[in-house]
Structure 1
């Protein structure tokens, strides 16, 4: 099969896809220090028609990868979460003989909590290096923040192995050996925070909350850092609940050491929420690169529609818009409207809730439009 371009003499084009894993130090450094993408040039239909076939393919490739990577967007929810994380983590200047309180970001799927926490971790990483230098006094690379993600039925050994794997250390040995190895790396590289994503996988979905609390407490005791847990339904399992019985002291200790945070979905039940939703759509709209994009394409003409289809969940919204832009580019439609968007598939949870929201909007029981913008609807 030929790998040459359809155009004779066309130069190969690699594109701006950035394939890396943030759960490895090399990939995490790409996320922390990777250059900002440059928004592709906004062209009219006539300008697109004037491009050569290869130039058009390159331009469309730039647009597609750009739309797939819009964000993080500084929504009120994200900024509030970053402020709370900063208050917890940046006040944890305790000496090594004291356990540092942890943070737990517990929210529904599809709200962008992992992206929001990683964005905070990247910012903290850069600020620490900017203040203290790229190397430690002993000459090691300074790694202020690390990021790991758990998989189904992860046990303590697997978690310790994930930390060692991030640093590029051997993953042989039992849980205690791996923990000692990981602690040495934390100390030598001056790590101050560890982000542990998908914490609900720890010890499996069927484990009881006492066992889970024991494992999380173990981490807090072993690692002299601030632990930032990210998960779904962790509090629902009872890990942080009050009113413990005498044999649930592990739960009480972990609950006292951990501050729960969340990232709420967008809501349009009050004027403040509707204004926030409109501001979000206007921000996204400014980042879209479509030949027939126009002011109000999202914030005016698709506001109710996009809320119904995303149920106010940021990840569902961005997946829908990204796929819509891809379809608009490849079909030559070059704009987003209901006719095109109705052909775009979205996640199952959003689609399941869609009919109820659409019915409420059509019946006039719910609107996404702030009061001052309803007359123009």
Structure 2
């Protein structure tokens, strides 16, 4: 299998190519994932006071605000209790799969509601795994091929076995990805994974697959083939997988096929933040403090989120990290653009959030206003826990 020179992607070759730039966003090809995994951290804009911002030239102000736009759009990932727990489970399962070839490797299914940071958490884990593998084993395999520890593919509602294998070949940019049967693509996918010594295969958006249709059954069978023949840990990400019968056993033929996937797969989940307990309120506060620390606004102050907006942000996000970060990101963009340079209810009331969060907003606001819910730990201070 011929692969592009890894050094070219590190030195920025092909940055002007549209497909190369899109790959960096979609992570649908190995070079895009490599830039995500090995790239340097985004530089944080300097924290300037209003007087300093006013003294900037027009060109410098334009560049400063541009850098803040990019920074606020990429505040995460946050090391939340949910992400920490998930990573510990992922390391347990992945490292325990370092078995000989006669043993079937256990799979993982991350099954959780939207907006809880599933993909973000998995990509954070995959980045650590990629770096660990390169650090321990080197960039090249013993055969002199480039090592790609992680492969990620996404599914659609129309994905069949041939499409799934072709997505793997697209990731590796295999020259045989354009023509062939489903079996041909399967053998080439196995060859790509073996050649690159890939150890983690991430399949995202699994809920798009129509499990009870023939295409879903074919892909489910293919997952078992991967578990048996491919030296990888299979990590599936989706919504409502348990309700779709992925882990259940049944009496009919199709249910029995799906049940085999469940027997070989460990189900993991991610929960939203809750404020029904002291620990839940502490976790929520620590997360707000972490977000607050990363914000680059001239009039930011300690406690801006964790004290003054704790109830408000919980009501607006329903405790979902995705909804919280969307609201904070959009609020920061407006605060920079309008010159408000801080986050408060007056500004955030004009910022739209996702539909699910907005539907739950009124009920949560009433519970917090009446005291039936409390989002802050007792005795919390802006400078600590």
The 1-side partners of 2:156 and 2:49 are apart by: 46
Report the equivalent of 1:53.
58
8 Å contact from structure 1 (residues 148, 162) kept in 2 = yes
8 Å contact from structure 1 (residues 303, 369) kept in 2 = yes
Q: Structure 1: which 5+ residue stretches go unaligned?
A: 1-13
8 Å contact from structure 1 (residues 209, 251) kept in 2 = no
Report the equivalent of 1:201.
208
Matched, 1:164 2:169: yes
Matched, 1:266 2:266: no
Report the equivalent of 2:35.
30
- Report the alpha carbon displacement of residue 220 of structure 1 after superposing the two structures with TM: 2.3
The 2-side partners of 1:159 and 1:297 are apart by: 46
Report the equivalent of 2:8.
none
Report the equivalent of 1:245.
251
Go from structure 1 to structure 2 and tell me whether the alpha carbon gap of 1:206 and 1:369 turns closer, same or farther (over 3 Å shift).
farther
Structure 2 counterparts to residues 180-259 of structure 1, below 5 A: 180-203=187-210, 213-242=220-249, 244-245=250-251, 247=253, 248-259=255-266
The 2-side partners of 1:175 and 1:96 are apart by: 24
8 Å contact from structure 1 (residues 203, 212) kept in 2 = no
Report the equivalent of 1:275.
282
Question: What is the number of equivalent residue pairs in this alignment?
Answer: 359
Go from structure 1 to structure 2 and tell me whether the alpha carbon gap of 1:245 and 1:369 turns closer, same or farther (over 3 Å shift).
same
Report the equivalent of 1:351.
358
The 1-side partners of 2:297 and 2:338 are apart by: 12
8 Å contact from structure 2 (residues 161, 215) kept in 1 = no
The 2-side partners of 1:207 and 1:287 are apart by: 48
Matched, 1:334 2:329: no
The 1-side partners of 2:198 and 2:328 are apart by: 37
Go from structure 1 to structure 2 and tell me whether the alpha carbon gap of 1:206 and 1:329 turns closer, same or farther (over 3 Å shift).
farther
- Report the alpha carbon displacement of residue 130 of structure 1 after superposing the two structures with TM: 0.6
The 1-side partners of 2:214 and 2:371 are apart by: 45
The 2-side partners of 1:256 and 1:64 are apart by: 46
8 Å contact from structure 2 (residues 300, 341) kept in 1 = yes
The 1-side partners of 2:291 and 2:323 are apart by: 14
Q: Secondary structure at the match of 2:91?
A: helix
Q: Given the alignment, which residue of 135, 153, 159 partners 1:148?
A: 153
Matched, 1:83 2:88: yes
**TM-score, reference length from structure 1:** 0.91
Report the equivalent of 2:104.
99
Q: Secondary structure at the match of 2:207?
A: helix
The 2-side partners of 1:37 and 1:268 are apart by: 32
Could you report, residue by residue, the CA deviation over 1:83-125 in whole angstroms, capped at 9, with x for unpaired residues? 0010001110222232211000010001110010011011011
**Deviation larger for 148-157 or 49-58:** 148-157
- Report the alpha carbon displacement of residue 71 of structure 1 after superposing the two structures with TM: 1.3
- Report the alpha carbon displacement of residue 132 of structure 1 after superposing the two structures with TM: 0.7
Matched, 1:324 2:331: yes
8 Å contact from structure 1 (residues 241, 255) kept in 2 = yes
**TM-score, reference length from structure 2:** 0.89
Q: Secondary structure at the match of 1:38?
A: coil
Matched, 1:109 2:114: yes
The 2-side partners of 1:61 and 1:336 are apart by: 19
Report the equivalent of 1:135.
140
The 2-side partners of 1:113 and 1:333 are apart by: 33
- Report the alpha carbon displacement of residue 252 of structure 1 after superposing the two structures with TM: 3.3
The 2-side partners of 1:335 and 1:193 are apart by: 42
The 2-side partners of 1:258 and 1:334 are apart by: 48
8 Å contact from structure 1 (residues 209, 237) kept in 2 = no
RMSD: 2.1
The 2-side partners of 1:160 and 1:367 are apart by: 49
